[in-house]
Amino acid sequence: MTVRVRFAPSPTGFLHVGNARIALVNWLFARAGRGRFILRIDDTDTERSTAAYARAIEEDLAWLGLDWDEFARQSDRMARYAAAFERLAAAGAIYPAYETPAELEAKRTAQLARGRPPVYDRAALALTEAARARLEAEGRRPHWRFRLPAGPVAWDDLVHGGVRIDAATLSDPVVFRADRRPLYLLTSAVDDAELEVSHVIRGEDHLTNTAVQIRLLAALGAEPERLRFAHLPLLIDAGGAGLSKRLGSLALRRLREEGIEPMAIASLLARLGSSDPVEPKARLADLVAGFDLARFSRAAPRFDAAELRALNARLLHALPFEEARPRLAALGLAGADAAFWEAVRGNLATLAEAKPWWRVCTGEIEPVIEDAAFAGTAAELLPPEPWDQGTFAAWSAALGAATGRRGRALYRPLRLALTGAERGPELKDLLPLLGRARARARLKGLRA
């Protein structure tokens, strides 16, 4: 069987790390199995879906490095859902229901008050033709519910193992609105069947939906046993709470603006919840190698923003100059060379942090002079050029001998004068980039 998976976001907002994890796991599963990855935009919710969010989804996936082999948009497939309505209606698998949202909420509240599960009571099935005509004369138009066949629904989940859900614990789901617009459970079942999806990999919040969709697939004449399901636990934060209130700050766009590397996100999300160690990978291909869905557990994985940022730094520290060069140029650092990159990359948490160090090396800064006499002596002892990485050791040794200073008392005032900062790249690497004239001027307290 050819592996065919789908990532099916709704264009009602920007992708966040939870969405990205599902997309990435689907993509890795497809690539590891030499299969197909389908991007399906679930945009039938016309009130909330926008073309701008749909474009953003494609842009964010591309930024993450995830390409797709096939593309589908549910708004282009409305005729397929209309055909499904006719098939289900002809088979008696769906029925009209007329309750208003307020009436349904009242029923739900009453059931909960009696300690009963809030399952729809199928009152619509007891309506006579005369009762339905009377309701429609009042201006009501029915929504349509799928009549769930009785009995348990069972499947072997690739993450949860054996799952069994009794249909009696579920309400007959609404699958078409009053205006005949299809809802998610119906459209997803139709698309998974017609796009020949082999594996549905998604969050465990869809476990109950899967029971309904298996029944829908059978009612549509598909073969639900051909589909394999995998439901991944939802991410929690470092403290064990859900991420739902923080997802806006964890949107891929926000993380990108903050300078997070796409491979830092991929390296973390691909391994969260699995038995594989989280470590920085430079290529998606490195994550494909050895990928195995069986290594994911049922325990909720912890997403730690601090861990993501640490991975980001580790990736930058190992980034070769040839890969950094065009990105530095895009930041306005067109003249940055390998020596500059080697000097500063070990101190970067994000690539944008290279900009102030470029200014330190090539522009003007306000030097910090704590002891003018010491700085003046340091300026006089600067050796002639050319300079290399050994220059700083020789110069600081001579300065220490002349002033009697050692350790922090020797090095801290030099760093403040030369860079204006308490911490940063090693001075042995920065000094040759500064050059003698700039270093001397700064030690004299001049803006240079």
- Does position 245 have pLDDT exceeding 70, yes or no? no
Q: Please state, for a pLDDT cut of 90, what percent of the chain lies above it.
A: 95
Same domain, 109 and 169: yes
Residue 380 belongs to a domain with what CATH number?
Answer: 1.10.10.350
Q: Is the dihedral of CA 425, 426, 427, 431 positive or negative?
A: negative
Whether residues 381 and 417 fall in one domain: yes
Q: Is the pLDDT of residue 248 over 80?
A: no
Q: Give the tokens for residue 6.
A: 């789908």
The pLDDT of residue 89 is above 70: yes
Q: Judge residue 165's burial from the number of C-beta atoms within 10 Å of its C-beta, 0-12 exposed, 13-18 middle, 19 or more buried.
A: middle
What lies within 8 Å, CB to CB, of 271 at 6+ separation is 277, 278, 279
Neighbours of 206 (CB within 10 A): 18
Residue 106 lies in a domain: yes
Q: Are residues 95 and 148 in the same domain?
A: yes
Residues 332, 353, single domain; the answer is yes
Residue at a domain's end among 362, 392, 412: 362
Residue 238 lies in a domain: no
As a whole number, mean pLDDT of residues 312-331 equals 96
- Check whether 208 has a pLDDT greater than 90: yes
Cα(231)–Cα(206) distance, integer angstroms? 7
At residue 210, the pLDDT reads 97
417 in a structural domain: yes
- Please state, in angstroms and rounded to a whole number, the distance separating the CA atoms of residues 332 and 320: 19
The two tokens of residue 70 are 């096939």
| pLDDT tens readout for residues 107-166 | 999 999 999 999 999 999 999 999 999 999 999 999 999 999 999 999 999 999 999 999
The verdict on residue 382 lying in a domain is yes
Do residues 177 and 101 make contact, with C-beta atoms less than 8 angstroms apart?
no
Predicted local confidence at residue 167, as pLDDT: 95
pLDDT tens per residue, range 195-206: 999 999 999 999
| 244 pLDDT more than 80 | no
Identify whether 97 is part of a domain.
yes
Domain identity same for 119 and 170 = yes
Side chain identity at 63, as an amino acid letter? W
Size of the chain in residues: 448
- 233 in a domain, yes or no? no
Count of domains in the chain? 3
Does residue 293 fall inside a structural domain? no
Task: Give the model's pLDDT for residue 247.
Answer: 67
Last residue of a domain, one of 110, 144, 176: 176
| CATH (domain of 127) | 3.90.800.10
For residues 429 and 389, the answer to whether their CB atoms sit within 8 Å is yes
Residue 239 has pLDDT above 90, yes or no: no
**pLDDT of 216 strictly over 80:** yes
Q: What is the pLDDT of residue 311?
A: 97
Model confidence over 91-114: pLDDT tens digits? 999 999 999 999 999 999 999 999
Contact 98, 135 (CB under 8 A): yes
In the predicted model, what is the mean pLDDT of the chain? 95
What average pLDDT does range 267-285 have in this prediction? 95
Task: State the residue range of the domain holding 331.
Answer: 321-362
For the stretch 341-399, pLDDT in tens is 999 999 999 999 999 999 999 999 999 999 999 999 999 999 999 999 999 999 999 99
Q: 């399952």: which residue's tokens?
A: 119
Phi and psi at residue 16, in whole multiples of 5°?
Answer: -115, 180
Examine the domain organization and report whether 418 and 377 are in the same domain.
Answer: yes
Same domain (yes/no): 100, 127? yes
Residue 96 domain-assigned (yes or no): yes
Residue 246: pLDDT above 80?
no
Say whether both 381 and 328 belong to one domain: no
Neighbours of 89 (CB within 10 A): 14
